[in-house]
A and B are shown apart, each in its own frame.
Chain A
Amino acid sequence: MTVYFLCAVLLTMGLYCLVAKKNIVKKVIGVVIMDYAVNLYLIILGYKHNGVAPIISKGMSDARLERFVDPLPQALVLTSIVIGLGVLALMVSMCIRLYEKHGTFDMSQISKLRG
């Protein structure tokens, strides 16, 4: 249970960083922390103490079958990490463009639109 709690703490830290920081690069870092908190959560869902890879072969003992880990969360996390990388690349390139336009990373100086 503690690991799930720590995962939630990580998620909240990311959200805090996103909301409280004015520097857009730090905001990006906040989003990435949130993303990784959720990835970690998915990995924990599939974790099994003393688990083995789920590969079925002939003459396998039932004891080994029971130690199989759930492979699906790992597949999900791999996909999610790749998606996160794509989003991160886009975020960073937008940060660079914003810096070129304004000469600053400070959101309060960049912000002109009213929302």
Chain B
Amino acid sequence: MSSTIFAGRFGIAHGAASVFVPRLSLAKDGVFYLHMIVVSYILLVLAAVMESFASIRLSIDEPYDSTGVAVRRLADSVASEAYTLDEILVTGTRVPHTAALSALPVSVAGKADLARTNAVSLAEALSSLPGIFIKNYGGVSGLKTIAQRGLGAEHTVVLLNGMRISNVQNGLVDLGLIGIDEVERLEVLRGGQSASFGADAVAGIVNAVTTAPGDEHVTVTSSVGSFGYRRYSIGVGGKVTDALSAHATYRDERGDENYPFLFRNGEQRFELVRQNADFTSRVGTLRTDVQFDERLHLSLFGRTFTSKRGVGGPVVGPASVSVARQNDDDHLLQLMVKSENVPLGYHLGMQFHYSYQRYEDRAFIIGASALDNFSKILDYRIEPGVLYALGEATRVALGGEFAHTAGRGNVLASDLRRVTSALYVAGQQRMIAPSNLLSGVWLYPALRFDAIRTGTETLTNFSPQLGAVCTFRGIGGVVSPTLRASVSRNFRAPTFNELSYAGGGGIGNPRLQPERSTSVDVGLDLAVSLFGRHLLQVSYFDIAMRDRIVWVSAGGFGVTPRNVRRVRTNGVELTYRWLFFEEQLSVGINYTSLAARKTEADSPSDRNPHAHLIYIPQEAAQYTAAYRCALGDGVFREVGAALSVAYVGFRYTSEDNQKFLPSYAVAEMNLRLGLAIAGLAVDVRFDVNNVFDKEYQSVPGYPMPLRSYRAACNITF
């Protein structure tokens, strides 16, 4: 407590902690603010130097708007090959801006990008992006969670249409339960963003934007595939009036998931079949958009989802059998009003979200009862905000996030309620006017205050962030570089399980403090026009985390979570795409190399003070080659094909880093054909997953399917 300071930047010692003052230590905050100063300084000096050279460079006469870049909102099919970063609007930010102006690395995948993959859910779509590893517990029905930048699923905030859907109970979102056909656009902003999104935005955020109503249409889709996979969906949408449009969908998906796999024990080789991994899910959505005028827009989105599935469990021997079952229900209603008036726009988001999970295992009997756990989470939230343009160079977003979350379950010691109140301010400031060389230099300061009351405990946190972007006009008409940097303080709030678990074998800790971290990002984007078009994005990140929550022994017969661990993850992410042959062909590479290590011992008896974190690959890459060609107005409209190979490096599976799961490379391919038959648009595709029959596991004990096939037909009236 004696090291608490009133306000870090002033360095004034203060004896008593205030609930409104973050508990920051002098030394750590000194480093943090030093980072901020250095990042700002480098960007400004670099910009000034480049500015001074501007007069001797070639003048490229490009049109640009008041923010210095060409901002074009794309109605649909964003992020296809034809668009560049400066044309892609990133909506999952407090101050909307284009991808080219993001201080943090952004990946945006639109319908066209998603169609190139064999993804059926968010999990597969995300797995192809840099910095992201999906912990896949096998097949379509297995749990799939995100591990971004070497951290856990609880360190990434998942948003749907910009509003949080991450589960407070366990911090997870099963990304396999959100179908890719529900998503029009996927945005991933890597790097800490608690200054905008509050708790848990430590490794980054994922924002899935649902499909907007388009022109009148009826779409029927049917998919069949290996291991009893069936998927049927229907979508109806269009304009009801000039102002009102709607889009409704229903999908039924199921599978037996009885896929063959190999289990090896030394020289012994067992050909087994996955059991108890069948699933059935149904989802219905309705989105209604009302365009009151050119700038005022209302959107109502509802989603109801239910799923029943077997939990195959880990395969640790030929006799591994599971009878566990899991049910998931998830119901969500969102209302969003948005005014894009200039200079003052506003938005109001409201969300009701109910999720229910039940896990039962008749073969796991403790005392007289079989394992039968359930949890119910009811979350209401309201997120108002304004966006104000202060002249041409400055935009400021002010807003709040107010949420009430109630949790019930038989693994919690008692019902829990969490009330989140947060205020944020975020800005975009152009520092240097455009010139012949420079498009501009932008600063992105942001600050957010969170007060999170769970039960009787309240945690408060200030999250500052400073980002900077320096964009250049095309050098020699060939190379267009952008430099970006960001430094931020972030935090993760303990989950309900961590605070109040009482399900046997352990006990929650209501006095947990939030995990706190400092993130630094530096990156370069390059667009090169030479033998086609090349888009390169390179990012370095460094996350230093303290007070990481780890379940440790609690005495007696259980474990309890405590803030004991210090972790540092750092690495490089690279994204490269090369478009050529009139952009019909594209070749892409995503590559990530990272280190995620403990930086000191968890306890005096900890023998592995600097070990790598388990289950985290230190290296991942994906190579993609895609072809798409419009064939004209005849029966054959379009043909496309894609081949990708995903490589995941070895992952340590023991705390002492003595055991590991081997690396693997898995290929997938697809062939797509667009037809026009009797006035109908017919899209057919054929997917092959795990083309080379690779035997592999993403998570130890959870075998992945060998080669599998899927065929789909989509008819739009």
Are both chains from one complex? no
A contact set with B: CB distance below 8 Å: none
Residues of B within 8 A of A (CB): none
